[in-house]
Amino acid sequence: MAPPHTVRTDPELLAQVLAPYKGHCRYIRDALVTGRDGTRVTVRSACEIPESCYIDDTGHLNSVEVNICYNQMMYYLVAVSVRESLLNGLGDWTLDDFWRHQLPDILIARFTARFRRPVDPRHFTAELEISSPVRRAPDGAAPFLHADSHYRCWDSAGGRCGGEAVLAFVNIP
C-alpha cells in the first residue's frame, strides 16, 4: 500500500474556500489533508468560534455551528482533493470546476450529529473523512457522485461530538 499523501494548510486556498462565508463565520484556522488510495481523504482542523453567528452564547458547540464547521472543512477537503487528485470520482475536475460547483452543486443529502460531552466552541479540533465515492445515475437520471463522510470534534477538556453525512455532487462534468 502506498504511503498517504499529506498536504499542509495552504492559506491562500483556505481563504478562497472560505470567501463565501461572512467574516465572523469563518471557523477553521488550519487544515491538514491526508489522502489514501483515491478512496479516502481526511482533513484535521483547529477551529475557533469566538461568538455564535445566530444565538446568544450557549457555552458549548451546537449542531448549527458543527454543520458550518463541517461545510468549511468539507469544501477545503474537496478543493485540495481536486487540486492534488486525491479522490476517485473527482479526477476530471479542475479547481475552476470546483469554484463553479462549490455552493450550488455539492449537497449534503443527510447530516447527523451526536453530542457526547459539551465541546468548547472557542477552541476545538475537528476531523472529517470522505470515503467510498461512487458515481450513480438512478433510473436514467443525471449522474451524480455519492460519498459517505464521518466527522468528529473534541476539545482539551474531554468534550466530544461526531456524526455522519452523505454528500451528493450533482451536475458533475
pLDDT score of 22: 95
pLDDT score of 170: 93
Query: Whole-prediction pTM value?
Result: 0.95
Q: Looking at residues 50-78, what average pLDDT do you find?
A: 92
Q: Looking at residues 8-24, what average pLDDT do you find?
A: 97
Asked whether the predicted pLDDT for residue 2 surpasses 70, the reply is: no
Contact status, residue 77 vs residue 130, Cβ threshold 8 Å: yes
Cell numbers for 93, please give them.
475536475
pLDDT in tens, 65-116: 999 999 999 999 999 999 999 998 887 889 999 999 999 999 999 999 999 9
Q: Looking at residues 44-52, what average pLDDT do you find?
A: 95
Identify the CATH assignment for 5-169 out of 1.20.58.190, 3.50.50.60, 2.40.50.100, 3.10.129.30: 3.10.129.30
Closest CA to 105 of 169, 16, 20, 19: 169
149 vs 93, higher pLDDT = 149
Which residues are within 8 A (CB) of 62 and not within 5 positions of it... i.e. 6 or more apart?
52, 55, 121
pLDDT confidence bin for 6, thresholds 50/70/90: very high
pLDDT score of 1: 61
